[in-house]
């Protein structure tokens, strides 16, 4: 059986196209959706992500503000900015790029974001809404993007065994909740660094979601023939043959695994593009909920 290469770029572009009409309607009604992206420090990868987010806003007609703050910014200064953005009627979504510098207490910062503007879905109110399956909440963009890919490719989840590798608050845990929800009805196992015999566990999976941040960790012998593999990893590995001196690989050994599975997301071009598309979708949803009460 041929392996389906899940084209995240194509699905993301369809999601973005679908948003344009609602953005135009909101703008007509005097409520242009607005996103504030806050970056503290000079981490090069974070700078790339933040710039892509701002560019995506421009392409869709979403108003955006980029706040690039110096690495020495204090917790108090950052929280003060968040409070100003909470009060700014032009802004419907607020995102603080993770990870911040070590002196910043990220959880404390997130607690200061108005949950109605928390388009990352990191605030405890939104974490609770995910668990409660309350559709007014915001779900983190990467797992939301993974669910959209499964839907776009008509990949069934009901009754399937999904193994999510990784227990982060950004990907692993929300992903597990989405898969086990009444929308998806999968049976879910969350695996992590202390899981015993991960390869054997993964071989029982119909769906594997790899979100560990370890380059090419998931090998062909982790995969049951015909399983679906979503690779959330974005890892830089040294490669002297590339002009930049590195290349980007996922958490999955693509060459080996793609021979065995029925569908797989490549890196790049799989889950990555979906993250930004879902951020745009969450920003439009925040605008709609804040201005239309729906
Ligand atoms: N860093 C890596 N992924 C994300 C994300 O989805 N949101 C934020 N704020 N930071 C990130």
Give every strand in the sheet of 93-96, ordered side by side: 63-69, 34-40, 93-96
Q: Is residue 287 a contact partner of residue 26, using CB atoms and an 8 Å limit?
A: yes
Task: Dump pLDDT digits (tens) for 113-129.
Answer: 999 999 999 999 999 99
pLDDT at 136 > cutoff 80: yes
Q: Are strands 187-191 and 161-165 parallel, antiparallel or unpaired?
A: parallel
41: helix, coil or strand?
coil
Neighbouring C-beta atoms of residue 160, cutoff 10 Å = 19
For residue 95, the ligand 1 atom closest to its alpha carbon is: 9
- What is the 261 CA–ligand 1 centroid distance (Å)? 28
- What is the 50 CA–ligand 1 centroid distance (Å)? 9
Query: For position 126, what pLDDT does the model report?
Result: 98
Query: For position 17, what pLDDT does the model report?
Result: 97
User: Token pair of 178, please?
Assistant: 């989405």
Distances in whole angstroms, Cα of residue 2 to Cα of each of 88, 140, 205 = 51, 32, 19
Neighbouring C-beta atoms of residue 7, cutoff 10 Å = 17
Q: Could you confirm whether 160 is annotated as catalytic?
A: no
Cα-based torsion angle of the residue sequence 193, 195, 159, 214 in order, rounded to the nearest 10 degrees: 30
Band of residue 138 on the pLDDT scale cut at 50, 70, 90: very high
* Pocket residue to mutate for ligand 1, from 39, 141, 170, most atoms within 8 A of Cβ: 170
Pocket of ligand 1 (CB under 6 A): 95-98, 120, 141-142, 170, 275
Average pLDDT in the 27-41 region? Answer: 98
The one catalytic residue in 114, 117, 118, 120 is 120
Q: Is residue 73 a contact partner of residue 45, using CB atoms and an 8 Å limit?
A: no
The residue count for the chain: 294
- What is the 57 CA–ligand 1 centroid distance (Å)? 16
For residue 96, the ligand 1 atom closest to its alpha carbon is: 9
For residue 279, the ligand 1 atom closest to its alpha carbon is: 6
The CA angle 176-182-187, to the nearest 5 degrees, is 45
Query: For position 161, what pLDDT does the model report?
Result: 99
Which of 249-287 are b and which e, b meaning 16 or more Cβ less than 10 Å from the residue's Cβ? bbbbbbebbbebbbbbbbbeebbbbbbbbbbbbbbbbbb
Band of residue 294 on the pLDDT scale cut at 50, 70, 90: low
Q: Could you confirm whether 285 is annotated as catalytic?
A: no
Q: Is residue 151 a contact partner of residue 118, using CB atoms and an 8 Å limit?
A: no
Cα-based torsion angle of the residue sequence 54, 59, 62, 66 in order, rounded to the nearest 10 degrees: 20
- What is the 97 CA–ligand 1 centroid distance (Å)? 5
Band of residue 293 on the pLDDT scale cut at 50, 70, 90: confident
Task: Dump pLDDT digits (tens) for 180-202.
Answer: 999 999 999 999 999 999 999 99
Distances in whole angstroms, Cα of residue 173 to Cα of each of 103, 170, 251, 255 = 25, 7, 17, 27
pLDDT at 148 > cutoff 80: yes
Q: Could you confirm whether 105 is annotated as catalytic?
A: no
- What is the 232 CA–ligand 1 centroid distance (Å)? 12
CA 27 from chain center: how many Å? 26
Task: Dump pLDDT digits (tens) for 58-115.
Answer: 999 999 999 999 999 999 999 999 999 999 999 999 999 999 999 999 999 999 999 9
Prediction pTM value: 0.97
* Pocket residue to mutate for ligand 1, from 53, 98, 233, most atoms within 8 A of Cβ: 98
């Amino acid at each position: 059986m041929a392996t389906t290469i899940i084209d995240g770029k194509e699905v993301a572009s369809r999601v973005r196209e679908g948003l344009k009409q609602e953005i135009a309607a909101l703008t007509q009604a005097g409520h242009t959706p607005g996103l504030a992206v806050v970056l503290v420090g000079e981490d090069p990868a974070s700078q790339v992500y933040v710039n892509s987010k701002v560019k995506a806003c421009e392409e869709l007609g979403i108003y955006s503000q980029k706040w690039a703050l110096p690495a020495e910014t204090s917790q108090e200064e950052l929280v003060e900015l968040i409070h100003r953005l909470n009060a700014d009627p032009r802004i419907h979504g607020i995102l603080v790029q993770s990870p911040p510098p070590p002196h910043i207490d990220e959880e404390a910062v997130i607690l200061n974001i108005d949950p109605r503007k928390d388009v990352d879905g990191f605030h405890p109110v939104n974490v609770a809404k995910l668990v409660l399956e309350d559709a007014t909440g915001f779900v983190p963009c990467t797992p939301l993007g993974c669910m959209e890919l499964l839907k776009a490719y008509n990949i069934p989840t009901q009754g399937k065994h999904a193994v999510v590798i990784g227990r982060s608050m950004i990907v692993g845990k929300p992903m597990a909740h989405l898969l086990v929800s009444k929308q998806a009805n999968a049976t879910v196992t969350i695996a992590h660094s202390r899981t015993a015999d991960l390869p054997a566990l993964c071989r029982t999976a119909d769906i594997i979601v790899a979100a560990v941040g370890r380059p090419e960790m998931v090998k062909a012998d982790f995969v049951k023939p015909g399983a679906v593999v979503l690779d959330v990893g974005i890892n830089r590995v040294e490669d002297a043959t590339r002009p930049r001196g590195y290349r980007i690989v996922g958490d999955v050994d693509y060459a080996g695994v793609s021979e065995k599975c029925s569908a797989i997301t490549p890196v790049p071009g799989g889950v990555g593009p979906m993250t930004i598309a879902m951020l745009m979708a969450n920003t439009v949803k925040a605008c709609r909920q804040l201005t239309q009460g729906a």
